[in-house]
Amino acid sequence: MRGLMIGRFQPFHLGHLELAKIILRECDELIICITSLQFNYMEKDPFTAGERIQMIHESLKEEHFDLSKCYVLAIENQFNIATWASYLRSSLPKFDRVYSGNDYVRMLLSDSGLEVIKPNFLNREKYNATSIRKLISENSDWKQLVPKAVADNIIKFNGIQRIQTILTSDTKPTEY
Amino acid sequence: MRGLMIGRFQPFHLGHLELAKIILRECDELIICITSLQFNYMEKDPFTAGERIQMIHESLKEEHFDLSKCYVLAIENQFNIATWASYLRSSLPKFDRVYSGNDYVRMLLSDSGLEVIKPNFLNREKYNATSIRKLISENSDWKQLVPKAVADNIIKFNGIQRIQTILTSDTKPTEY
Amino acid sequence: MRGLMIGRFQPFHLGHLELAKIILRECDELIICITSLQFNYMEKDPFTAGERIQMIHESLKEEHFDLSKCYVLAIENQFNIATWASYLRSSLPKFDRVYSGNDYVRMLLSDSGLEVIKPNFLNREKYNATSIRKLISENSDWKQLVPKAVADNIIKFNGIQRIQTILTSDTKPTEY
Amino acid sequence: MRGLMIGRFQPFHLGHLELAKIILRECDELIICITSLQFNYMEKDPFTAGERIQMIHESLKEEHFDLSKCYVLAIENQFNIATWASYLRSSLPKFDRVYSGNDYVRMLLSDSGLEVIKPNFLNREKYNATSIRKLISENSDWKQLVPKAVADNIIKFNGIQRIQTILTSDTKPTEY
Amino acid sequence: MRGLMIGRFQPFHLGHLELAKIILRECDELIICITSLQFNYMEKDPFTAGERIQMIHESLKEEHFDLSKCYVLAIENQFNIATWASYLRSSLPKFDRVYSGNDYVRMLLSDSGLEVIKPNFLNREKYNATSIRKLISENSDWKQLVPKAVADNIIKFNGIQRIQTILTSDTKPTEY
Amino acid sequence: MRGLMIGRFQPFHLGHLELAKIILRECDELIICITSLQFNYMEKDPFTAGERIQMIHESLKEEHFDLSKCYVLAIENQFNIATWASYLRSSLPKFDRVYSGNDYVRMLLSDSGLEVIKPNFLNREKYNATSIRKLISENSDWKQLVPKAVADNIIKFNGIQRIQTILTSDTKPTEY
């Protein structure tokens, strides 16, 4: 049985990592599906799909996951949300169970015959990508909230400066 | 002569129905053009194009419209708005007159040689799709504002729960 | 129960009309779904979606169909064919049965729980849109193969000249 | 050496004109690249690409620029911003230097080996497209902020009324 | 009055140049509209939009055209051809007359109130982009068929090798 | 150092597998990039991206690759080929070396500073996806040309029947 977790992972944090561990305990294989493949260098989506794939892959590796049981993949967002479940199935290896605390995701998958599991997340106040991006932009105390491989790569990608530049630019990035 | 009315119809309400009646009195045939075909399961666009078509068709039927004089059709939105009038013409049967109280629509059609009529709407405060969606989310007193076929279908489509789920979800639907 | 027939209908011919009659005898309602909404003025797709909708609607009307039981709708083609069944469902009123002699369509809908019926077509050699377009381009004996409303509209739309111009143009239309 | 300046130019104003003059003093040729080609008739993008090209071309002409050294071109916006520099290069004549005061643009071009120059703008409070559009909508004192050719064309295009209609319409243009 | 000529210009040749001269004799200004902006590095479209713009601009310059009367612009192709005339108008400065020997273009513009002129081309057998690309790929006697600025730039862009590589590659470029 | 191999992998065969082994001997990590993510159920692209990812992942696993050193990822095709190298970089983890025997790919990456290596392929006549798809459609002797995991999955996905249905359908799939 394959278990699926879905997110933008901007960035992948310790709450996500914890969920990945839970899924691999309960399923044979894990799929981590990164959404919004086509977006990057924007306020809510600072990192490219390639960067996010690399950060997650290396996080799993440093935590000694058996990578032969893991898929880390990225997909584009769909405008026609009613076709989203179908798009997921065409883009990913066959999956049987979805882990999501989001009622909206649950609704979209409700007709698909998939099992949707509500996970017990780590402290959601603390492990929250929006607030982590804010901490990164202020360069204050964010490294403890993400896997070491994520922190190292954000530094390597000039991620702090990138997020600051996006936030402070007087022209909105989408205008270019 | 064919008369055209245009809207998202999220949902189709008694004000819209009244306008449809007026058009069929003044023209030979009626086109109801549903916009934003590609959007659904979002705050301002909860219902799919298929659901909206069905709700409008059944509303006309229960009101004893002569359906052989009516077209209920859906089209996608266009980014390049300057081509919108042309896109309308390529997607719909030939029409001669547009009923719209919207100055913006009037401007977009102004070079096209079409007659644009400003209709006398029913009470716009009351018959307003935005406030009807709000009432649906609170499940309070919305059924009297829409045709019976619309109310019945919204119940059948789990529309109340759908709108509530969209509104309360902590993740924005467009992120998936 | 709603029965669905699908095609490009370039143009709608007597074979299609016959199938529409069969469906309305066997189902409560009929959906005629026109594909390739976005294509027109091309060799295989000379007519716009709007023109095709109008021609089919008027054909049903002149044959005394009860239009309150009929939906004539157009949808765009999808690149990601694996999501096609899902796109159909989001774009059309709910349907239960699909009439198609095409094994490919049958395969695409096979996982959807829909009943797919193989219709007995009229003489397929004779009633075939490709050969009808060829006859139109030569202006020889095509009118007897389509409903009168289709023939009248093709004349009205300058369809013969349009098809001839597309075929003889030295530049391929897709280059513009 | 070709110098590049980039913007939406909604509308092109005297600050932009000044920068164009500076570039032609420092480089052999000038490229003015208009972004958001596909957007128009919207609050932040009232004018079409064609209108903007014409207004800028005529502004340069009335200021006696040597047009044989100038390119005025429009490009679409890209969703995948990480490919933007590459898209610029495929859409424009080869350029060597970019004039931009925007740190965000500088970041996007940083890996491309291009020289990015921070220009000394004219008074940015005064020469600012957002506030000029606001002044146009109020029809107060905007003509002195733009080249004469821009002012004349905005009048000719019914631009004042267009901006007012966009701003006051109760339906958002993107819904059509 | 502005006169328009339209083409892919892969590459711009002496027949095109001759037409540009004719238009500038008969009209006040000239627009050269390059189509298929988004295609390049393909068999029928080897050069990018930027390269084509540059080659045409420099050809006009070396032939002493008054560039203040010329627009050299690129646009994308449209799938929905019925909206093409409208897309042209939104993307280009206002034009009144189109020079085209193509009946297909004439048909698409026929409802637009534009004057369409059939030009007397130079020898079309000889001045033909398809056969010129073939000659380039064989590196035989093509330079005499294009303006000097085009020939020089094709050499500078490694155009001969590019076309050869595209033609001989065992994988079709569109697969990447 | 990461080495990259690119293809549609319809299907992944023993020649591809051999190349993957070579890359992992010469580089620290391997990226297998599957193109044409958005296409499936077509003659040249019968399998979905998800199916292809799964088949390749399982092939590497059964051949005892260290999956912690491997990325198996899918990307969409781009119309604007001149931006392809940039799109690759935004979609994949950072790579330094590309293995490709295709001169066209080499040309597209030539300006990017990447090392492009021409691999010694296994017998290309024999290990060729086009001829393998033909053999699958005839169900003759194809299993020996692909990894066991690929053969098993093609059976499980009803791939033989799928390819036969695509080939024999009288309507081209792209028309739906």
To the nearest whole Å, the CA of D21 is away from the closest chain B CA by 31
Return all residues near A155 (Cβ < 8 A) that are at least 6 apart: none
The proportion of chain F whose per-residue pLDDT surpasses 70, expressed as a percent, equals 95
To the nearest whole Å, the CA of F90 is away from the closest chain D CA by 6
Structure confidence at residue A60 as a pLDDT band (50, 70, 90):
very high
Give pLDDT tens digits for D76-115: 998 899 999 999 999 999 999 999 988 899 899 877 778 9
Q: Which residues of F touch C (CB under 8 A)?
A: 38-42, 48, 161-162, 165-166, 168-171, 173-176
Q: Which residues of C touch B (CB under 8 A)?
A: 37, 40, 48-51, 53-54, 57, 61, 66-68, 70-74, 76, 89-94
- Helix D84-91 and helix E49-62, axial crossing angle in degrees, nearest 10: 30
Give pLDDT tens digits for F120-146: 866 778 899 999 999 999 999 999 999
- E-chain CB neighbours of B90 within 8 Å are 80, 82-83
Structure confidence at residue B101 as a pLDDT band (50, 70, 90):
confident
CB contact (8 A) between residue E171 and residue F102: yes
Confidence check: pLDDT of A111 > 50: yes
Contact C27, C61 (CB under 8 A): no
E117 three-state secondary structure: strand
Of E41, E161, E175, the CB nearest to F35: E175
Whole-number Å distance between alpha carbons of C9 and C74:
10
Structure confidence at residue D156 as a pLDDT band (50, 70, 90):
very high
Residue E176 confidence (pLDDT): 43
Confidence check: pLDDT of F84 > 70: yes
Overall pTM > 0.90: yes
Give pLDDT tens digits for B4-57: 999 999 999 999 999 999 999 999 999 999 999 999 999 999 999 999 999 999
- D-chain CB neighbours of F87 within 8 Å are 80, 83, 86
Residue A125 confidence (pLDDT): 82
Q: How many CB atoms lie within 10 A of CB F171?
A: 17
Whole-number Å distance between alpha carbons of C143 and C151:
6
- C-chain CB neighbours of F168 within 8 Å are 103
* Of C120 and A89, the one with more pLDDT: A89
Residues β-bridged to residue A72: A32
The proportion of chain D whose per-residue pLDDT surpasses 90, expressed as a percent, equals 81
CB contact (8 A) between residue E40 and residue F80: yes
Name which of A52, A80, A111, A116 to mutate to probe chain B: the one with the most chain B Cβ atoms within 10 A of its Cβ: A80
Nearest CA in chain A to F39: A90
Confidence check: pLDDT of A95 > 70: yes
Confidence check: pLDDT of D173 > 70: no
Residue F173 confidence (pLDDT): 47
Question: What DSSP state is assigned to residue A63?
Answer: T
- Helix C159-168 and helix C129-138, axial crossing angle in degrees, nearest 10: 90
CB contact (8 A) between residue A81 and residue B166: no
The answer, yes or no, to whether E and B have at least 3 beta-carbon pairs within 8 Å is yes
The proportion of chain C whose per-residue pLDDT surpasses 90, expressed as a percent, equals 81
Name which of F80, F106, F109 to mutate to probe chain E: the one with the most chain E Cβ atoms within 10 A of its Cβ: F80
Return all residues near E131 (Cβ < 8 A) that are at least 6 apart: E125
Of F37, F53, F73, the CB nearest to A93: F53
Nearest CA in chain D to B38: D175
CB contact (8 A) between residue F36 and residue E175: yes
Asked, as a colleague might, if the bond just before F11 is cis with ω within 30 of 0, I would say yes
The dihedrals phi and psi of F111, each to the nearest 5 degrees, come to: -90, 5
Average pLDDT, chain F: 93
E strand or H helix at E156: helix E148-156
Whole-number Å distance between alpha carbons of A157 and A155:
6
Residue B173 confidence (pLDDT): 47
To the nearest whole Å, the CA of E95 is away from the closest chain F CA by 28
CB contact (8 A) between residue E170 and residue F102: yes
- B-chain CB neighbours of E85 within 8 Å are 86
CB contact (8 A) between residue F85 and residue D80: no
Confidence check: pLDDT of A176 > 70: no
Q: Which residues of C touch A (CB under 8 A)?
A: 80, 82-83, 85-87, 89-90
Its ipTM equals 0.94
CB contact (8 A) between residue A84 and residue B176: yes
Residue E169 confidence (pLDDT): 82
Whole-number Å distance between alpha carbons of A105 and C122:
46
The answer, yes or no, to whether E and A have at least 3 beta-carbon pairs within 8 Å is no
- CA C174 → CA C41, D38, D168, E86, distances in Å? 9, 20, 39, 16
E33 three-state secondary structure: strand
To the nearest whole Å, the CA of C93 is away from the closest chain B CA by 4
Contacts 24+ apart (CB under 8 A), F102-108: F102/E169, F102/E170, F102/E171, F103/E165, F103/E168, F103/E169, F104/E165, F104/E166, F104/E169, F104/E171, F104/E173, F104/E176, F105/E171, F105/E176, F105/F6, F107/E41, F107/E161, F107/E162, F107/E165, F108/E41, F108/E176, F108/F81, F108/F84
- CA E32 → CA B68, D119, E2, E29, distances in Å? 48, 32, 11, 10
Nearest CA in chain B to E91: B82
- DSSP calls for C104-145: HHHHHHGGGT-EEE----S-TTTS-HHHHHHHHHHTSS-GGG
Give pLDDT tens digits for C54-99: 999 999 999 999 999 999 999 999 889 999 999 999 999 999 999 9
CB contact (8 A) between residue F48 and residue A74: no
Tokens encoding A150: 């994520």
Structure confidence at residue A173 as a pLDDT band (50, 70, 90):
very low
Q: Which residues of F touch E (CB under 8 A)?
A: 6, 8, 35-36, 77-82, 84, 102-105, 107-108
Q: How many CB atoms lie within 10 A of CB C138?
A: 11
Structure confidence at residue F172 as a pLDDT band (50, 70, 90):
low
Structure confidence at residue A174 as a pLDDT band (50, 70, 90):
very low
CB contact (8 A) between residue D90 and residue E54: no
Structure confidence at residue B169 as a pLDDT band (50, 70, 90):
confident
Residue B172 confidence (pLDDT): 53
Residue A175 confidence (pLDDT): 47
Residue C112 confidence (pLDDT): 78
Average pLDDT, chain D: 93
Give pLDDT tens digits for F3-25: 999 999 999 999 999 999 999 99
Average pLDDT, chain B: 93
CB contact (8 A) between residue A104 and residue B166: yes
Which residues of chain E register pLDDT less than 50?
173-176
